[in-house]
Structures are given as structure tokens and as C-alpha cells.
Amino acid sequence: MKITIVGSGYVGLVTGTCFSEVGINVVCVDIDAKKIDNLKKGIIPIYEPGLDEMISRNVEKGRLHFSTDLPGCVNDSDVIFIAVGTPPDEDGSADLKYVLDVARTIGRHMDRHMTVVTKSTVPVGTAAKVRNAIQEELDKRGLDISFDTASNPEFLKEGDAINDFMKPDRIVVGVESERTEELMSRLYKPFTLNGHPVIFMDVPSAEMTKYAANAMLATKISFMNDVANLCEILGADVNMVRRGIGSDSRIGHKFIYPGIGYGGSCFPKDVQALIRTADSVGYSMRILKAVEAINYDQKSLMFNKFMKYFNGNVKGKTVAIWGLSFKPQTDDMREAPSLVIIEKLLEQGCRIKAYDPVAMDESRRRIGDAIEYCKDPYEAAIDADALILITEWTEFRYPNWTVIKKLLKTPVVFDGRNIYDPKEMKKLGFHYYGVGIINGKL
């Protein structure tokens, strides 16, 4: 079987590489010639653990190829996956320009039956628009060629995407014919050996499933952050509350860790898109609007605590920041809490010294040299008036606090992810501030 993946960003590159890993012949296509040239040289445009080795292995085996020539790939493919970006419009709705451009290109060049699968995260009804765009181009050419469309949303976690694809919890596919269902069953058979099924459904339901899944996870995060803020006011410990409710099997322990908000390429964009989709048909997603508002405020939580600690007198203060990416195991800084905190600190005239294991190049690309970049967490702490932990990278979990205390001007730690024990920090002589717990000076 031969497949073409259009769009060699995060989703497209992981998808194409993992398909090639099980023996399928894959061509990853992108209009960015520099990106394709770099991929051919083994230069990977994203950070994802294990991806570079897998790409190299499958290129060497002759199963994975890169190209800018979509027209030349169309008729050499059994399945074409559309995995291009769907950036938010000004109103937060998903921009389908690139998806539909691909569909039109397919319609202009196809000369036999094929299946076109939407892999990008798109609003309900997009597959129908893809079908119409292809059909319009065929009509212009005066051709009567049958084709199928399908929806196959991705459920990949940045930092663990390869494992998610190779050993999926579930594979959701929206189809409109038995022929497509049989084709997708064959395509995904190597990935279902762990017993998890391919869940077939109608196309609109598959499109909705992706948005509903991300919206539900974002809701759990914002709900727990809201509870954490109330716990702090009432004198309760959200960590104890989390353990108490997480033990209920109906709730579970996942996505109920309080912190300073969600970020990344999926949750913010998908929550906004679902809100706008509902608005467009006259329905208000009231819960999701609250989820979005809570997350917006939560990103400023540690900054607000920092300002309160110093009674607003922070001009000229040096702040050590640990972590820049929106979560560990990725260099992705899209919608990252770090960007909000850094902007607010700079506005107050603070000097920032930051360290992140993998995201400092991405930070330089986004904000340049507005902050100082350090070689390790300890360098960031030298002569800092405060330490703010933003991303819970593993290497931050057990630092040498004796050394850190000597390096800091003021022994104060603002823990945006609750990874440190408040009692232990107090014993070590630190003023400690977390999320939803009893905070304060010694």
C-alpha cells in the first residue's frame, strides 16, 4: 500500500513516519521546500523523542520519502492524508484555507479512484467541504471519477507521540462507505494488535470526537485550577483534594493536577474552535467559555504571587525561570504560560534568566534576546531575587537546594506545577508558593 501525507508538520511527520515503520510506502509532502530539503538531509523541524531515529531508519530502508510535488504524488497513492495546519482565524475559528487548497489540488490532478482522509483537526462539516472542493475541480475537467472521503482525527500527545501512534488507546475513523472502512481497517491492522479497536462512525461524529476529547481534557484542567484557587482561599490543600477525588474511578487521576494553565497547539485552539462552531449555529458552549476564561487568568497566577510577595516593588529584580515549553518533552511554546509570565515581568522592568532543556532555541525565535538564556538551572539561579518554576521537566524535580539557596539573593520559590513539598521547602529555609496549597513566608 502507498500513501501520501500532505503537510510535514508535527501531525503529518509523526503519522507518515509511523506508517512507514510498519512497512507502508509513504511520501510526506510539504510546500516548504527548505523543510523538505532539510528532512532529506536528516534535519528534523520538530522536537519529539525518538522521531529522528525512526525517520532515519525508514529513509534508509526506502519506505519513507519527502517531496514538494503533490500533483506528482496524487495518482501514485492509495490513500492521501491531509495533515496541514488549521490555524485559528481572528475570531478563534479554524482556518480551512490550507485543507481546501490541498483538496482542490487533488481534484485537479486525480485520474483514478482514491480515498482522501482528513487528519488535521477540523470543524464538523469539513470532510463535506473537502468532497465538494474535489468534485468542483473534477467537474471543471469534465471527469466522472469516484472517490471517498474520511475523517481520521489524531490523538497524539507531544512528547509521547510515537508511542501514542504505535500503541493507540483507540483509532477513530469516520467513513461514508464500506469500501473505505475495509481500506482503513487494512491500513491500521498493524496498530491494533494490542487489542484496542478501530472505532468506525459517520464522518461528522469523527470530526466532533476530536474536539470533544480535547475540550473535555481542557475542562478537567481548568476545573481543577478553579478548585485549587478556592482551596487556597479556604485553607484547604488541593493536593489532598486531588488524591481524594482521583481515587473515584469515575473521575480518575489524569488531568486533575493543578498548575498555571494549559497551552500548546491543541487545547487552546480546539476549545476556541468548538466555541466558535457552536456560536455559528446559535448555541453557546457556556462551560467551555468558562474553561477558556479560567485558563487565561491562571497563566498569570505565579506572576501575581510574585508581585504580592514583593509588594509590587519589582523593578530591577532578577527572576530565574525554570522551563519555557508549555509542557515537558517538547520544545513547543505555543500558548505557553511562560510567554505570559515573561511578558508581564518585562513590563515591570525585571531581568529574566531562563533555562529549559530543549526550548531555548524556540524561545529565541519567538522573543529574541529579551531574556538571558542559561546553560543549566543553577546558572539561572545566580543572584536571582526569585525562582519561578513553569515547566515540570524531570531534571527540575530534585535540585540541590543547598546550592540553590546560596545562589539566590532571596530564598523564595514560586512553584507553578506543585512538584515540590511545601513542608520540605520550609525546612530547607525557603519561602514557598505553590498552587492551591497553604503558601507563605517562613
Q: Kindly list the catalytic residues.
A: 266
**220 vs 370: CA distance, rounded Å:** 34
Question: And the C-alpha cell for 270?
Answer: 480546539
Residues whose CB falls within 8 Å of the CB of residue 365, separated by 6 or more in sequence, listed in order: none
Element (H, E) at 65: strand 64-67
Rg (CA), the chain: 24
**320 vs 411: CA distance, rounded Å:** 12
**133 vs 116: CA distance, rounded Å:** 12
Element (H, E) at 59: helix 51-60
Residue listed under C-alpha cell 474552535: 273
The b/e string for 322-358 (b: 16+ C-beta within 10 A; e otherwise) is bbbbbbbbbbbbbbbbbbbbbebbeebebebbbbbbb
Cα pseudo-dihedral 267, 268, 273, 276, rounded to 10: 130
